[in-house]
Amino acid sequence: MKFTENGPDIPDDLLVARDEGRVLFFCGAGVSLAFAGLSDFLKLAGDVIDDLGSLTGSPARRLHAAANTKLPSGEKPFVPVDRMFTLLDLEFDPQDVRDSVARVLKPQGNVELHGHKALIDLSRGSDGRPRLVTTNFDRLFEACDPGLTSWGPDNLPVPERPADFEGIIHIHGRVDEDYDAMSEPVVLSSSEFGRAYLSDGWATHYIRRLMDRFKIVFVGYSADDPPVQYLLEALREEQSPVENIYAFQHGDEQHANEQWMQKGVVPMAFGNDYANLWDTLMAWSERAADPDAWFQRTVAQASAGPSTSSPIFRGRIAHLASTLVGMNRVIASDPPMPSTWLYVLDPQVRYLDPAPVKRRDPTSDEFDPFQHLGLDRDEAPPPVDPDDHFERRKVPSGAWSAFEPTPRDVKSATVKNVGSIFGESSPLPRTWRLMLFVVRRMDEAPTLWWAAGQRSAHPQLIQQLEHELRYRLRDSGSVLLPYWRYLIAQWRRPPVEATQASIEIAHRAAGGWTAPLVREAIELARPRVKVERMFRVAPPMTVDADPTEFMDLDVEYPDLQQDFKFDEAYLPLAVSLWRGLLVEAEQLETDIGAWLSIDTTRPDDGERLGGGYGLTGPLVKFTHLVEALEGANPAAAAQEVQAWNGQDGLVFERLRIWATGRPSLTTIDQAQALFTGIDDEAFWSYRHERDLLFAIRDRWADLPDAGRRAIEARILRSPIPYLADHTPTEADERAAVHRLNAIHWFTRQGIAFGFDVAKERARLLEAAPSWQERWADHTAQPQVGKVRSITTDTDPASILDVPVNKLLPIEVPEEGFRDFKEHDPFAGYVMKRPAHAVLALHSAMRRGVETAWHYWSTFLRTTAKRKTSARLDAVVVRLVSILPSDEIAKLWYPLVEWLTERGLRFENGGGGEFDAIWDLVVAAAALHPSGYKQKLGRDWSFESLNSVIGRLVLALLELPLPDGSHAVPAAWIERLDKVLALPGDHARHALHLVAQRTPWFQFHEPVWTEDRVLAKAIVGGPDADAFWSGFARMGRVPPPDLVAQLKAPMLARVGRGGREESNLIGYLLSAWASEGPQQIVFDAELRDALVLGGDDVRRTMLRFVSDWAEDNDRWRALVMPFITKVWPKQRTMRKPQMSSALVRFASSVPQQFAAVMQAVMPGLVPLSIGHDLHLDCEVADLDVVGIAALVTALQRLLPSERGDWPYEGKRLVDAIVTTGAAQGPELDELSRRAAERDF
């Protein structure tokens, strides 16, 4: 938690421990320096040197001067200050040195003690008594309160006796009260530090006792200060774990980690302003002085909600939610904290994408969850690719969540929190409070929205929610309650993977169906209400928000991906059960207020429907079941159809229509009764249109005349209910359209009406004169159309006889795409008469036809790969050159393709056509920036190859050099200069492709290449990205001199990731492998790249070495030099991922496996289930020494718990045993552990 905006982030455990009185502050010289202005340790040495009058040029003075001399990097060298006092002890009497220390530390006048008082307040335990440790000799802490007990090294208080353990503990000694001398022996010189922490170790042992009881916080120290150095060194020497130690550190977080993390100390960086530290300590001390008041103020302020709060304040609430004490305060808050704080506690909400506040409102403001809900500790979300509409913000792996158990939670867990085979676990105490927070805010909209985002919930949370619904909220009338009931039902449903379960049932049914198995199969298809957050809508920020604005209710129909073939004996049961599903499905749709819509159940003639979306799917499957029953037992099927008459609703209305089309299911009288008796709304509804019309068509021949006349009368005269709210004229016109469509459809289906079709058609056309026959093409069509492909019709027959001066523009056929064809007769015309096409284009240009560019695009695309005459090509170039740049930009892709196919002819012809088109495209590009959007991780190769400038450059670079020439023509360089000077990405696309050929250009045009290409390697930004992406794709290792020239920027790019990084690593590795003077990259440089580059860089380099060593003797000889001289030995390398990678690398060179493993063995750490343990060779391929090395390695790699072993662990142990090449207690132990559980 942060107390101030720029202050350090203090861990929750430390804050809680301080509240519990389990923190001990160690105060260094920086504390007395901050407000009182006393000296730090280095300045103290200088003051003593001057006070004693040390000889000019004395060792002490030279050492002090060296410590104050800045290095070229701007940093000061590390010089041990205690060594200066050792030198002074040699020059002066040691007592005089200590007396001098006392004198120079004496405060001048009244000094400011705010910092000391704050630390005293912070140091107070739960009993109110202060206790802190200081290595300072001054008595400024005692000056804050003369009543404080003061302790020196001769009489240190016993930590194990709380009654006596209080006051200020001067572990290194202290001055007397008058600052005339030291009151006791002190720790000042190197020898005294050595005795205190190393040889005698009394200080180390004492601090170890303190560490066993308290968390230690260093204030006013740097990582290089002697007290810190000696203490941590002593702890390492005695192999004591360094834990529960924290340190405030000047600088940024990265610098703090570099200073402290390897020492085992948790750093808390406070930036470059010491005010950040002291403001934090002051604020922390205010909290420490009255925690209850601080909690009360914080919780009261939280009642305003998180959106208007600062990230720092939201971080404070996160701190409260991280602790049991804090959650008790949150639960008891008055006024209550609003439920919107749930959003802050959940990283899945904080990192949601921005979304509009109001749905379906294009003018709505956008709500960015991270901006309104993010914590001060949160990592900012990376930019999302604007071209990827499916990409979402990713939650960082370390993002804080209140709903994840903390180490403190786990440590406090009891047996009942673990659960057993007989029952569920009880929630952890803090988690229980979080549950209560949710339960008590069930009637607030944000709680519902948050809960709907959770896939499951703890059984006790569900029980509490149901209890609230049953009692407290029973009569509340809240509109949220139905959503809660659906959500709880959703959580209670057992998770079933319907597709997999249906496959298993089908497998079991291979031996014959049973009634229970039929029930189990159909149960899989049971519909259920799905509750979820509305997509792309901001979370509600008010407690009374309307749930219909942010919640979605939908009926979900499991897709079984199986068409069960029930035995005939069980078909009646299956049909009956499935009918019940349909009844339930329609009821659920009605309950949630859904607009019930079903697609057709009537396939095209000779086809079979495969399913459908939503309710249509189970409805179609039901018709398949009835069809199967119809084939097996027609009487039972007909009886099933009769059972539908007792069912109301859209689904069974549709089924009755479907059945009337099947003679074996319904008699003709039943069919006629439905056709004539169905109400007008259903008769004319688009919902049933296809199914009803097909049913009438299928039974028409069997209908009696009276039935036909009745249907004809309905078609011609019956009311169309939905038109009642239209004006009479509009209603008459639309009704006429419906009737005309139906008449035309039936006529095309071969139905012979009893009325005069022509006469009725004429009558209806009077009301709907705009009606056209093609409108009837949409009659009786499924609501969801088929997937079709669009073909291109280039037949020019329709325009062959048109004069060229009237040919363009060509009238677009009225059909459009209704016949699923794109009509492009001009393309066929160009293929048949290219010269006439040019004349037509010229005429269109003279007549100012606006779409002339479109026809030029068709011409260029069509003739690009076709051989045309030089004369025609020259005319084309002249005509295209007349087009303005805006129109060139519309057709530049086919223009460049056309140029590419004729480039060599144009170059050899010398007519200037190549330059003419080049300049046209360049001029257009200068006015039209690239359409690619700026984004992270750009694929410059893909962009360049698909950009117009990239294709233009390729048209040039794919040309051969002129015959007899060994130099790049000046015209080529001039052309490249033009594209490299274009704005933005146009130039970068050209640069990428030129960079791929850097060695070639450097050989022929070194000065130009240096100035226009290589200079981009070091500029940074997208220009450098484009260059390096191209340079990495040249397909071979660059020449040594080029690698030497680019080595520094190349090394700097390693570790940045990106598509080109792997090849750059390969270049550097190849340069390292060169011998003698040819070696360009050295061991240390490659090692630095490995240390700083990250795991991906390390794995890539290992992969290159192993791949090249597989079939190359020279690289096999370099394996051990690489491992022993280059591979890093830093602690940061000691991680499971690298251990796994090293074992695999070693196995790629089986003959050197033992040597490699011996070299890396100290850095191996245990793996676990999630880590890879794979060998690139078989265990039998290793020699005896290699197998012995593998056994030793497995002892380090395999965890003590058998259940935590990686997947391949047991197989490797078994393979070693099988070889019989290794024996001994180590292998016996591995075998025993491997046998504990078999996977």
pLDDT at site 270: 94
Q: For the stretch 107-132, what's the b/e string if a residue is b when 16 or more beta carbons lie within 10 angstroms of its beta carbon? A: beeeeebebbbbbbbbbbbeeebbbb
Q: Do β-strands 366-367 and 355-356 pair in parallel, antiparallel, or remain unpaired? A: antiparallel
Amino acid (1-letter code) at residue 410: V
Do 156 and 186 have their domain in common? yes
Task: Give the pLDDT band of residue 1239 (cuts 50, 70, 90).
Answer: very low
Tokens 């039902």 correspond to what residue?
A: 489
Are the C-beta atoms of residues 1118 and 1127 closer than 8 Å to each other? no
707's torsion region: left (phi>0), alpha (psi -120 to 50) or beta?
A: alpha
| Domain annotation covers residue 962 | no
Do 79 and 226 have their domain in common? no
Q: Do β-strands 355-356 and 266-269 pair in parallel, antiparallel, or remain unpaired? A: unpaired
pLDDT at site 240: 62
Tokens of 542: 């008010």
CA-to-CA distance for 633 and 1031, rounded, in angstroms? 74
Tell the burial category of 1032 from Cβ atoms under 10 Å away from its Cβ (0-12, 13-18, 19+).
buried
949: Cβ–Cβ under 8 A, 6 or more apart, which residues? Answer: 921, 925, 930, 979, 982, 986, 987, 989, 990
506 to each of 612, 622, 853, 1008, how far by Cα in Å?
21, 18, 61, 72
**What percentage of the chain exceeds 90 in pLDDT?**
76
Residue where a domain stops, chosen among 868, 895, 923: 923
pLDDT at site 80: 85
Do 532 and 454 have their domain in common? yes
Do 25 and 45 have their domain in common? no
CA atoms within 13 A on the CB side of 1225: 0
Q: Which range (64-78, 374-388, 780-794, 894-908) has the least confidence?
A: 64-78
Domain, as residue range, for 731: 563-778
Q: Does an H or E element contain 25, and which?
A: strand 23-27
| Domain annotation covers residue 1094 | no
313 to each of 18, 304, 305, how far by Cα in Å?
20, 12, 11
Tokens of 1156: 């490699």
What are the strands, taking DSSP E only, across 474-579? 528-533, 551-556
pLDDT at site 179: 92
Do 589 and 638 have their domain in common? yes
| Higher per-residue confidence, 1059 vs 752 | 752
Instruction: Tell which residue, 435, 521, 474, 115, has the closest CA to residue 282.
Output: 115
Task: Give the pLDDT band of residue 819 (cuts 50, 70, 90).
Answer: low
Do 577 and 681 have their domain in common? yes
Q: What are the tens digits of pLDDT across the range 1014-1042?
A: 999 987 888 999 999 999 998 889 999 99
pLDDT at site 37: 85
Which three-class secondary structure state does DSSP give residue 395?
coil
Do 86 and 224 have their domain in common? no
56: Cβ–Cβ under 8 A, 6 or more apart, which residues? Answer: none
Running DSSP on this structure, what letter comes out for residue 198?
A: I
Average pLDDT, the chain: 92
Residue where a domain stops, chosen among 505, 535, 562: 562
- Give the number of domains in the chain: 7
pLDDT at site 363: 86
What share of residues in the chain are helix, strand, coil (percent, to 5)? 55, 5, 40
| Domain annotation covers residue 1018 | no
CA atoms within 13 A on the CB side of 278: 17
Instruction: Tell which residue, 241, 1159, 350, 981, has the closest CA to residue 232.
Output: 241
pLDDT at site 386: 65
Which three-class secondary structure state does DSSP give residue 1033?
coil
Do 646 and 674 have their domain in common? yes
Do 214 and 151 have their domain in common? yes
pLDDT at 70 over 70: no
| Higher per-residue confidence, 407 vs 314 | 314
Beta bridge partners of residue 555, listed in sequence order: 529
Task: Give the pLDDT band of residue 120 (cuts 50, 70, 90).
Answer: very high
Are the C-beta atoms of residues 451 and 457 closer than 8 Å to each other? yes
CA 706 to chain centre: 68
SS (H, E, C) 605-627: CCCCCCCCCCCHHHHHHHHHHHH
Beta bridge partners of residue 269, listed in sequence order: 249
Are the C-beta atoms of residues 540 and 446 closer than 8 Å to each other? yes
Q: Do β-strands 150-151 and 131-134 pair in parallel, antiparallel, or remain unpaired? A: unpaired
pLDDT at 812 over 80: no
What is the arrangement of strands in the sheet containing 266-269, beginning at the earlier edge strand? Answer: 150-151, 167-170, 131-134, 23-27, 215-219, 245-249, 266-269
CA-to-CA distance for 487 and 490, rounded, in angstroms? 5
| Domain annotation covers residue 648 | yes
Q: What is the mean pLDDT of residues 746-762?
A: 96
| Domain annotation covers residue 82 | yes
Q: What are the tens digits of pLDDT across the range 655-681?
A: 999 999 999 999 999 999 999 999 999
pLDDT at 429 over 80: yes
Task: Give the pLDDT band of residue 932 (cuts 50, 70, 90).
Answer: low
| Higher per-residue confidence, 18 vs 612 | 18
Q: For the stretch 328-357, what's the b/e string if a residue is b when 16 or more beta carbons lie within 10 angstroms of its beta carbon? A: bbbbebeebbbbbbbbbbbbebbbbeebbe
Q: Which range (286-300, 714-728, 802-816, 1149-1163) has the least confidence?
A: 802-816
209 to each of 166, 193, 243, 265, 267, how far by Cα in Å?
15, 19, 13, 17, 22
CA atoms within 13 A on the CB side of 1203: 0
pLDDT at 982 over 90: yes
pLDDT at 139 over 70: yes
Which three-class secondary structure state does DSSP give residue 1133?
helix
| Domain annotation covers residue 201 | yes
Q: What is the mean pLDDT of residues 903-916?
A: 93
| Domain annotation covers residue 723 | yes
CA-to-CA distance for 619 and 691, rounded, in angstroms? 13
DSSP assignment of 738-791, as one string?
HHHHHHHHHHHTT---SS-HHHHHHHHHHH-TT--GGGGGGTT--SSPPP---E
Total count of residues recorded for the chain:
1239
Instruction: Tell which residue, 718, 713, 707, has the closest CA to residue 675.
Output: 707
pLDDT at site 229: 87
Do 116 and 234 have their domain in common? yes
Q: Which range (214-218, 604-608, 837-841) has the least confidence?
A: 604-608
**Predicted TM-score of the model (pTM):** 0.80
Do 591 and 646 have their domain in common? yes
Angle between helices 324-331 and 429-439 (to 10 degrees): 20
pLDDT at 1066 over 90: yes
The CATH number of whichever domain residue 162 belongs to comes to 3.40.50.1220
Task: Give the pLDDT band of residue 72 (cuts 50, 70, 90).
Answer: low
Tokens 């959106």 correspond to what residue?
A: 307
Which three-class secondary structure state does DSSP give residue 350?
helix
Q: What is the mean pLDDT of residues 1215-1220?
A: 92
Are the C-beta atoms of residues 132 and 25 closer than 8 Å to each other? yes
Q: Do β-strands 528-533 and 551-556 pair in parallel, antiparallel, or remain unpaired? A: antiparallel
CA atoms within 13 A on the CB side of 164: 8
Tokens of 356: 């509009």
622 to each of 500, 521, 577, 579, how far by Cα in Å?
21, 14, 10, 7
| Domain annotation covers residue 1084 | no
Please, what is the end-to-end C-alpha distance for the chain in angstroms? 44
pLDDT at 236 over 80: no
Do 46 and 122 have their domain in common? no
Are the C-beta atoms of residues 7 and 312 closer than 8 Å to each other? no
Residue where a domain stops, chosen among 382, 403, 435: 435
pLDDT at 247 over 60: yes
654 to each of 597, 686, 715, 985, how far by Cα in Å?
11, 12, 19, 58
Task: Give the pLDDT band of residue 390 (cuts 50, 70, 90).
Answer: confident
Q: What is the mean pLDDT of residues 1101-1105?
A: 96
1200 to each of 12, 633, 1169, 1232, 1236, how far by Cα in Å?
31, 66, 12, 12, 11
